[in-house]
Amino acid sequence: MPMPQKAADLAYLALVVDEPQASAARFERDFGLPRRDFKCGGSSVPLISVGATALALFAQTDPFLGPEPKKGVHHLALSAAEPEAAARAAGLPTAGSLSKGLDGKAQISLAPAATCGVRVRFTEPLGLAPARSDLIERIDHIGVASADNKGARAAFIDRLGCVYESQQTDSEVETISENFTSDTHRYIFHTRPSRLVGSVRVTFITVGDCELEFLQDLTTDVNADAARHDAAGNTRGDRSAIARFVAARGAGLHHLAFKTPDIDSTLGRLGKAGYRLIDKVGRPGSRRARIGFIHPAGFGGVLAHFVERREL
């Protein structure tokens, strides 16, 4: 097995959105984040600086993405002075040969099967300056619908040199109680056996200044709930979303989370600005955080949420 290399910085995260220019304008106007446009083939791709990395906003028809891209988080690109050499050092198979990427930089793609469904590319550095605003400090994590967290650790830690951050199990248990009140036989309280309705194994692996959050469904004997964006989320709903995604698309990049200093204030500001909220106030999330999801329509079809948490 190749020796782990130094973890690369995250150059950019590619998002497939409805209208890249309109989405970029919202990031500038509503979130106060800077933008630069890069040439990519025959297209102009807006990049939004977030923390030490950037979001690259692509149209669904952009040939750079490959065949039949879906809206959402498409791929992540790791910085490497020599992308082809970095891929060889990782000992992972590539998907195609060296080619031109953003701003004409050399780039090469790894085979998704070797990275547990996550589309990963190496690219020459883009030279963007770090940025933050009063609403968004950086990307907190990139969610991955996972079918194999153990395999993800082997690929990203052992091969790509990323750093293990933490692991936890999120569970939701349903308990039904019944009350019997009689004018003669008094009061009886009865509790039915508890039932597990949602559980996910969550593994965090650091890449750049954020984490990959691998979410693996553990409740294979429980049917997934129907998709809904009209009510505040919970562990059962989060688990169902992961199960549906893996069943429909296979394992892969699922959502994006931004670190914010005050979740309730941020959600309130976004609500007043016209964004459709899934969570109107912060709710408990992984790593002792409080989180709140925004409807995908607010981000051009990308599922995103905000995270308030203290660093250990």
Q: Which pLDDT tens digit goes with each residue over 140-175?
A: 999 999 999 999 999 999 999 999 999 998 877 788
Per-chain mean pLDDT for the chain: 90
Dump the DSSP string for 63-108: GGG-SSPPSEEEEEEEE-SSHHHHHHHHT--BSS--EE-GGG-EEE
Virtual torsion, Cα 109, 112, 115, 116, nearest 10 deg: 160
Residues 6 or more apart in contact with residue 99 via CB below 8 angstroms: 106, 107, 108
Give dist(CA 7, CA 35) in Å, integer: 26
Q: Name the residue among 95, 93, 84, 88 with its Cα closest to residue 122.
A: 84
Has residue 48 got a pLDDT over 50?
yes
**Which three-class secondary structure state does DSSP give residue 181?**
strand
Over residues 222-240, the pLDDT tens digits come to 665 655 555 666 767 677 7
Which has more pLDDT, 51 or 226? 51
Confidence of residue 3 (pLDDT cuts 50, 70, 90): very low
The backbone torsions φ and ψ at residue 38, rounded to the nearest 5 degrees and listed phi first, read: -120, 145
100-149 residue pLDDT tens: 999 999 999 999 999 999 999 999 999 999 999 999 999 999 999 999 99
Q: Does the model's pTM come out above 0.85?
A: yes
What token pair was written down for 207? 């890449």
Residue 197: Cβ within 10 Å count: 18
In the chain, what are the domains? 10-308 (3.10.180.10)
Short-list 193, 214, 125, 114, CA closest to 155: 114
Mean pLDDT of the region 34-39: 97
Position 222 scores a pLDDT of 61
Q: Give bridge partners of residue 139 from the DSSP assignment.
A: 258
Decide if pLDDT at 28 tops 50. Answer: yes
248: which 2 tokens?
A: 């429909």
